Structure 1
Protein backbone atom coordinates (compact mmCIF):
# COMPACT_ATOMS: atom_id res chain seq x y z
CA UNK A 1 0.00 0.00 0.00
CA UNK A 2 1.32 3.43 -0.94
CA UNK A 3 1.97 5.38 2.27
CA UNK A 4 0.54 8.60 0.83
CA UNK A 5 -2.93 7.29 0.11
CA UNK A 6 -6.02 8.52 1.91
CA UNK A 7 -6.65 4.96 3.04
CA UNK A 8 -3.28 4.90 4.77
CA UNK A 9 -3.99 8.24 6.45
CA UNK A 10 -7.35 6.92 7.66
CA UNK A 11 -5.62 3.89 9.16
CA UNK A 12 -3.03 6.09 10.86
CA UNK A 13 -5.74 8.42 12.16
CA UNK A 14 -7.47 5.47 13.85
CA UNK A 15 -4.20 4.44 15.46
CA UNK A 16 -3.46 8.00 16.60
CA UNK A 17 -6.92 8.47 18.11
CA UNK A 18 -6.53 5.20 19.99
CA UNK A 19 -3.12 6.37 21.20
CA UNK A 20 -4.72 9.57 22.52
CA UNK A 21 -7.30 7.61 24.47
CA UNK A 22 -4.64 5.19 25.72
CA UNK A 23 -2.57 8.15 26.93
CA UNK A 24 -5.64 9.57 28.71
CA UNK A 25 -6.18 6.19 30.38
CA UNK A 26 -2.55 6.07 31.51
CA UNK A 27 -2.87 9.56 33.01
CA UNK A 28 -6.06 8.58 34.87
CA UNK A 29 -4.39 5.42 36.19
CA UNK A 30 -1.31 7.38 37.26
CA UNK A 31 -3.52 9.87 39.09
CA UNK A 32 -5.50 7.15 40.84
CA UNK A 33 -2.37 5.36 42.02
CA UNK A 34 -0.29 8.40 42.98
CA UNK A 35 -3.10 10.49 44.47
CA UNK A 36 -5.32 7.75 45.83
CA UNK A 37 -6.46 9.80 48.82
CA UNK A 38 -7.82 12.75 46.82
CA UNK A 39 -9.64 10.56 44.34
CA UNK A 40 -10.92 8.34 47.15
CA UNK A 41 -12.27 11.44 48.87
CA UNK A 42 -14.22 12.29 45.70
CA UNK A 43 -15.73 8.78 45.53
CA UNK A 44 -16.56 8.87 49.24
CA UNK A 45 -18.41 12.20 48.99
CA UNK A 46 -20.41 11.11 45.94
CA UNK A 47 -21.40 7.79 47.50
CA UNK A 48 -22.20 9.38 50.88
CA UNK A 49 -24.26 12.10 49.19
CA UNK A 50 -23.00 14.42 51.94
CA UNK A 51 -22.56 17.46 49.70
CA UNK A 52 -25.86 17.24 47.83
CA UNK A 53 -29.09 18.97 48.68
CA UNK A 54 -30.85 17.51 51.68
CA UNK A 55 -33.62 15.32 50.34
CA UNK A 56 -34.97 12.79 52.81
CA UNK A 57 -36.71 10.94 49.99
CA UNK A 58 -33.32 10.09 48.45
CA UNK A 59 -31.10 9.68 51.50
CA UNK A 60 -31.65 5.92 51.55
CA UNK A 61 -29.43 5.75 48.45
CA UNK A 62 -26.33 6.96 50.26
CA UNK A 63 -23.50 4.53 50.96
CA UNK A 64 -21.68 5.77 54.04
CA UNK A 65 -19.34 2.85 54.75
CA UNK A 66 -15.67 3.76 54.14
CA UNK A 67 -14.97 0.08 53.47
CA UNK A 68 -17.52 0.09 50.64
CA UNK A 69 -16.10 3.40 49.38
CA UNK A 70 -12.67 1.77 49.03
CA UNK A 71 -14.10 -1.33 47.38
CA UNK A 72 -16.18 0.64 44.90
CA UNK A 73 -13.22 2.90 44.14
CA UNK A 74 -11.07 -0.20 43.47
CA UNK A 75 -13.73 -1.55 41.11
CA UNK A 76 -13.56 1.76 39.22
CA UNK A 77 -9.74 1.66 39.16
CA UNK A 78 -9.83 -1.95 37.93
CA UNK A 79 -12.21 -0.98 35.12
CA UNK A 80 -9.91 1.90 34.17
CA UNK A 81 -6.93 -0.47 34.06
CA UNK A 82 -8.90 -2.91 31.90
CA UNK A 83 -10.03 -0.16 29.55
CA UNK A 84 -6.53 1.29 29.22
CA UNK A 85 -4.96 -2.12 28.70
CA UNK A 86 -7.40 -2.99 25.92
CA UNK A 87 -6.93 0.44 24.32
CA UNK A 88 -3.14 0.03 24.40
CA UNK A 89 -3.42 -3.48 22.94
CA UNK A 90 -5.84 -2.18 20.33
CA UNK A 91 -3.46 0.61 19.36
CA UNK A 92 -0.60 -1.89 19.09
CA UNK A 93 -2.64 -4.36 17.00
CA UNK A 94 -3.80 -1.62 14.64
CA UNK A 95 -0.24 -0.36 14.23
CA UNK A 96 1.03 -3.89 13.73
CA UNK A 97 -1.47 -4.36 10.89
CA UNK A 98 -1.16 -0.92 9.27
CA UNK A 99 -0.14 -2.47 5.92
CA UNK A 100 -2.35 -5.55 6.12
CA UNK A 101 -5.42 -6.20 4.00
CA UNK A 102 -8.62 -4.39 4.92
CA UNK A 103 -10.03 -7.61 6.40
CA UNK A 104 -7.00 -8.16 8.64
CA UNK A 105 -6.88 -4.48 9.67
CA UNK A 106 -10.59 -4.56 10.48
CA UNK A 107 -10.17 -7.68 12.63
CA UNK A 108 -7.28 -5.95 14.46
CA UNK A 109 -9.82 -3.48 15.89
CA UNK A 110 -11.23 -5.95 18.43
CA UNK A 111 -9.16 -4.89 21.45
CA UNK A 112 -9.62 -1.20 20.65
CA UNK A 113 -13.40 -1.61 20.50
CA UNK A 114 -13.46 -3.52 23.80
CA UNK A 115 -11.33 -0.85 25.49
CA UNK A 116 -13.56 1.95 24.22
CA UNK A 117 -16.71 0.12 25.35
CA UNK A 118 -15.30 -0.33 28.85
CA UNK A 119 -14.36 3.37 28.91
CA UNK A 120 -17.92 4.31 27.93
CA UNK A 121 -19.17 2.07 30.72
CA UNK A 122 -16.97 3.89 33.26
CA UNK A 123 -17.64 7.46 32.18
CA UNK A 124 -21.25 7.11 31.06
CA UNK A 125 -22.84 4.32 33.08
CA UNK A 126 -20.83 4.64 36.30
CA UNK A 127 -20.32 8.40 36.49
CA UNK A 128 -23.21 9.84 34.54
CA UNK A 129 -25.99 7.34 35.07
CA UNK A 130 -25.19 6.00 38.54
CA UNK A 131 -23.30 9.03 39.86
CA UNK A 132 -25.82 11.59 38.66
CA UNK A 133 -29.10 9.74 38.61
CA UNK A 134 -28.66 7.59 41.71
CA UNK A 135 -26.29 9.58 43.93
CA UNK A 136 -27.28 13.09 42.71
CA UNK A 137 -23.66 14.00 42.02
CA UNK A 138 -24.80 16.89 39.82
CA UNK A 139 -26.28 18.65 42.86
CA UNK A 140 -22.91 18.87 44.59
CA UNK A 141 -21.07 22.15 44.11
CA UNK A 142 -17.76 20.59 45.15
CA UNK A 143 -17.78 16.90 44.17
CA UNK A 144 -19.35 17.01 40.73
CA UNK A 145 -17.70 15.34 37.73
CA UNK A 146 -20.75 15.56 35.46
CA UNK A 147 -19.18 17.86 32.86
CA UNK A 148 -15.80 16.11 33.02
CA UNK A 149 -17.40 12.69 32.40
CA UNK A 150 -19.64 14.06 29.65
CA UNK A 151 -16.65 15.56 27.84
CA UNK A 152 -14.88 12.21 27.92
CA UNK A 153 -17.93 10.36 26.61
CA UNK A 154 -18.38 13.05 23.94
CA UNK A 155 -14.88 12.20 22.69
CA UNK A 156 -14.92 8.42 23.11
CA UNK A 157 -18.25 7.67 21.39
CA UNK A 158 -17.30 9.26 18.03
CA UNK A 159 -13.89 7.58 18.22
CA UNK A 160 -15.60 4.22 18.79
CA UNK A 161 -17.80 4.79 15.75
CA UNK A 162 -14.88 5.98 13.62
CA UNK A 163 -12.58 3.13 14.62
CA UNK A 164 -15.25 0.44 14.25
CA UNK A 165 -16.63 1.57 10.92
CA UNK A 166 -15.04 -0.17 7.96
CA UNK A 167 -14.04 2.66 5.64
CA UNK A 168 -10.48 1.63 4.86
CA UNK A 169 -9.87 -0.38 1.72
Structure 2
Protein backbone atom coordinates (compact mmCIF):
# COMPACT_ATOMS: atom_id res chain seq x y z
CA UNK A 1 0.00 0.00 0.00
CA UNK A 2 1.23 3.44 -0.92
CA UNK A 3 1.77 5.87 1.93
CA UNK A 4 0.68 9.49 1.55
CA UNK A 5 3.72 11.39 2.69
CA UNK A 6 4.03 15.12 2.18
CA UNK A 7 6.47 14.46 -0.68
CA UNK A 8 3.91 12.14 -2.34
CA UNK A 9 1.18 14.75 -2.04
CA UNK A 10 3.47 17.47 -3.42
CA UNK A 11 4.27 15.29 -6.45
CA UNK A 12 0.59 14.58 -7.05
CA UNK A 13 -0.28 18.26 -6.71
CA UNK A 14 2.34 19.13 -9.34
CA UNK A 15 0.90 16.49 -11.63
CA UNK A 16 -2.58 17.94 -11.06
CA UNK A 17 -1.47 21.49 -11.86
CA UNK A 18 0.08 20.36 -15.15
CA UNK A 19 -2.98 18.25 -15.97
CA UNK A 20 -5.28 21.24 -15.35
CA UNK A 21 -3.14 23.38 -17.67
CA UNK A 22 -3.37 20.65 -20.33
CA UNK A 23 -7.16 20.41 -19.93
CA UNK A 24 -7.45 24.18 -20.21
CA UNK A 25 -5.38 24.00 -23.41
CA UNK A 26 -7.60 21.27 -24.85
CA UNK A 27 -10.79 23.24 -24.20
CA UNK A 28 -9.20 26.41 -25.58
CA UNK A 29 -8.13 24.61 -28.76
CA UNK A 30 -11.58 23.06 -29.17
CA UNK A 31 -13.08 26.55 -28.93
CA UNK A 32 -10.52 27.94 -31.37
CA UNK A 33 -11.34 25.30 -33.97
CA UNK A 34 -15.09 24.92 -33.50
CA UNK A 35 -15.70 28.67 -33.45
CA UNK A 36 -12.77 29.70 -35.63
CA UNK A 37 -14.65 32.41 -37.50
CA UNK A 38 -15.82 34.27 -34.41
CA UNK A 39 -12.38 34.22 -32.76
CA UNK A 40 -10.56 35.12 -35.97
CA UNK A 41 -12.94 38.07 -36.47
CA UNK A 42 -12.37 39.14 -32.87
CA UNK A 43 -8.58 39.11 -33.35
CA UNK A 44 -9.09 40.97 -36.65
CA UNK A 45 -11.14 43.70 -34.94
CA UNK A 46 -8.39 44.18 -32.38
CA UNK A 47 -5.57 44.30 -34.94
CA UNK A 48 -7.51 46.61 -37.26
CA UNK A 49 -8.38 48.69 -34.19
CA UNK A 50 -11.92 49.00 -35.52
CA UNK A 51 -13.50 48.59 -32.10
CA UNK A 52 -11.16 50.77 -30.04
CA UNK A 53 -12.14 54.11 -28.63
CA UNK A 54 -10.17 57.22 -27.72
CA UNK A 55 -6.91 56.38 -29.44
CA UNK A 56 -6.88 58.39 -32.64
CA UNK A 57 -3.20 59.29 -32.20
CA UNK A 58 -2.27 55.59 -32.28
CA UNK A 59 -4.53 54.53 -35.13
CA UNK A 60 -1.51 54.33 -37.49
CA UNK A 61 -0.73 50.99 -35.82
CA UNK A 62 -3.85 49.34 -37.24
CA UNK A 63 -3.38 46.53 -39.74
CA UNK A 64 -6.36 45.90 -42.00
CA UNK A 65 -4.99 42.84 -43.79
CA UNK A 66 -7.35 39.90 -43.37
CA UNK A 67 -4.44 37.58 -44.22
CA UNK A 68 -2.37 39.07 -41.39
CA UNK A 69 -5.30 38.69 -38.97
CA UNK A 70 -5.59 34.97 -39.77
CA UNK A 71 -1.85 34.43 -39.59
CA UNK A 72 -1.68 36.13 -36.22
CA UNK A 73 -4.57 33.98 -35.00
CA UNK A 74 -2.78 30.89 -36.29
CA UNK A 75 0.32 31.97 -34.33
CA UNK A 76 -1.86 31.96 -31.21
CA UNK A 77 -3.30 28.55 -32.07
CA UNK A 78 0.16 27.14 -32.82
CA UNK A 79 1.60 28.26 -29.48
CA UNK A 80 -1.49 27.01 -27.65
CA UNK A 81 -1.08 23.64 -29.39
CA UNK A 82 2.59 23.43 -28.36
CA UNK A 83 1.76 24.31 -24.78
CA UNK A 84 -1.15 21.86 -24.64
CA UNK A 85 0.75 18.93 -26.17
CA UNK A 86 3.74 19.63 -23.93
CA UNK A 87 1.53 19.63 -20.83
CA UNK A 88 -0.20 16.42 -21.95
CA UNK A 89 3.15 14.69 -22.45
CA UNK A 90 4.33 16.08 -19.11
CA UNK A 91 1.22 14.79 -17.35
CA UNK A 92 1.95 11.30 -18.64
CA UNK A 93 5.66 11.50 -17.76
CA UNK A 94 5.02 12.87 -14.27
CA UNK A 95 2.39 10.19 -13.66
CA UNK A 96 4.84 7.47 -14.70
CA UNK A 97 7.49 8.84 -12.33
CA UNK A 98 5.31 9.52 -9.26
CA UNK A 99 7.05 6.79 -7.26
CA UNK A 100 10.47 7.17 -8.90
CA UNK A 101 13.54 8.57 -7.18
CA UNK A 102 13.69 12.36 -6.85
CA UNK A 103 16.06 12.92 -9.78
CA UNK A 104 13.86 10.87 -12.14
CA UNK A 105 10.72 12.76 -11.11
CA UNK A 106 12.59 16.01 -11.54
CA UNK A 107 13.69 15.03 -15.07
CA UNK A 108 10.06 14.19 -15.92
CA UNK A 109 9.24 17.90 -15.48
CA UNK A 110 10.93 18.91 -18.77
CA UNK A 111 7.79 19.00 -20.91
CA UNK A 112 5.81 20.70 -18.13
CA UNK A 113 8.41 23.46 -18.01
CA UNK A 114 8.28 23.78 -21.81
CA UNK A 115 4.47 23.80 -21.84
CA UNK A 116 3.94 26.30 -19.05
CA UNK A 117 6.68 28.58 -20.40
CA UNK A 118 5.17 28.45 -23.88
CA UNK A 119 1.77 29.39 -22.45
CA UNK A 120 3.28 32.31 -20.55
CA UNK A 121 5.08 33.44 -23.70
CA UNK A 122 1.93 33.14 -25.84
CA UNK A 123 -0.34 35.06 -23.51
CA UNK A 124 2.22 37.66 -22.42
CA UNK A 125 3.69 38.35 -25.86
CA UNK A 126 0.66 37.95 -28.11
CA UNK A 127 -2.17 39.18 -25.90
CA UNK A 128 -0.59 41.55 -23.38
CA UNK A 129 2.27 43.02 -25.39
CA UNK A 130 1.00 42.96 -28.96
CA UNK A 131 -2.80 42.98 -28.76
CA UNK A 132 -3.13 45.06 -25.62
CA UNK A 133 -0.17 47.42 -25.69
CA UNK A 134 0.31 47.83 -29.43
CA UNK A 135 -3.24 47.47 -30.75
CA UNK A 136 -5.00 48.96 -27.69
CA UNK A 137 -7.09 45.95 -26.71
CA UNK A 138 -7.84 47.62 -23.38
CA UNK A 139 -9.73 50.38 -25.23
CA UNK A 140 -11.81 47.93 -27.23
CA UNK A 141 -15.56 48.26 -27.04
CA UNK A 142 -15.71 44.52 -27.67
CA UNK A 143 -15.05 41.72 -25.20
CA UNK A 144 -11.74 42.36 -23.48
CA UNK A 145 -9.31 39.40 -23.54
CA UNK A 146 -6.70 41.22 -21.47
CA UNK A 147 -8.04 39.99 -18.11
CA UNK A 148 -8.43 36.49 -19.55
CA UNK A 149 -4.79 36.49 -20.68
CA UNK A 150 -3.61 37.91 -17.34
CA UNK A 151 -5.40 35.12 -15.45
CA UNK A 152 -3.75 32.52 -17.67
CA UNK A 153 -0.32 34.06 -17.20
CA UNK A 154 -0.75 34.09 -13.43
CA UNK A 155 -1.85 30.44 -13.30
CA UNK A 156 0.92 29.23 -15.60
CA UNK A 157 3.59 31.34 -13.88
CA UNK A 158 2.63 30.26 -10.38
CA UNK A 159 2.38 26.66 -11.57
CA UNK A 160 5.84 26.90 -13.11
CA UNK A 161 7.33 28.33 -9.93
CA UNK A 162 5.68 25.64 -7.81
CA UNK A 163 6.77 22.92 -10.22
CA UNK A 164 10.46 23.82 -10.10
CA UNK A 165 10.96 25.63 -6.79
CA UNK A 166 9.11 23.46 -4.28
CA UNK A 167 11.11 20.41 -3.27
CA UNK A 168 9.33 17.14 -4.06
CA UNK A 169 11.87 14.77 -2.43
TM-score by length of 1: 0.95
For residues 81 and 153 of structure 2, what CA distance do their matches in structure 1 show?
17
The CA deviation string for residues 116-161 of structure 1, in whole angstroms up to 9 with x for no partner, is: 0000011112101111110000001214211111111121111010
For residues 49 and 110 of structure 1, what CA distance do their matches in structure 2 show?
39
For residues 69 and 59 of structure 2, what CA distance do their matches in structure 1 show?
16
Structure 1: state its 5+ residue gaps.
Answer: none
Number of the residue aligned with 1:75: 75
Helix, strand or coil for the counterpart of 1:84? helix
Measure how far apart 1:61 and its partner are: 1.0
Number of the residue aligned with 1:157: 157
TM-score by length of 2: 0.95
- Give runs of aligned pairs for residues 1-169 of structure 1, distance below 5 A: 2-169=2-169
Helix, strand or coil for the counterpart of 1:131? helix
- Whether the 8 Å CA contact 2:54–2:139 is kept in 1: the answer is no
For residues 4 and 144 of structure 1, what CA distance do their matches in structure 2 show?
43
For residues 72 and 129 of structure 1, what CA distance do their matches in structure 2 show?
13
Structure 2: state its 5+ residue gaps.
Answer: none
- Whether the 8 Å CA contact 1:46–1:143 is kept in 2: the answer is no
For residues 113 and 58 of structure 1, what CA distance do their matches in structure 2 show?
37
For the aligned residue pairs, the C-alpha RMSD in angstroms reads 1.3
Matched residues, number? 169
Helix, strand or coil for the counterpart of 1:57? helix
The CA deviation string for residues 101-128 of structure 1, in whole angstroms up to 9 with x for no partner, is: 1111111100000000000011112101
- Whether the 8 Å CA contact 1:106–1:166 is kept in 2: the answer is no
The CA deviation string for residues 3-62 of structure 1, in whole angstroms up to 9 with x for no partner, is: 311100000000011111100000000001111011111110111011112534312211
For residues 143 and 135 of structure 1, what CA distance do their matches in structure 2 show?
14
- Whether the 8 Å CA contact 2:83–2:116 is kept in 1: the answer is yes
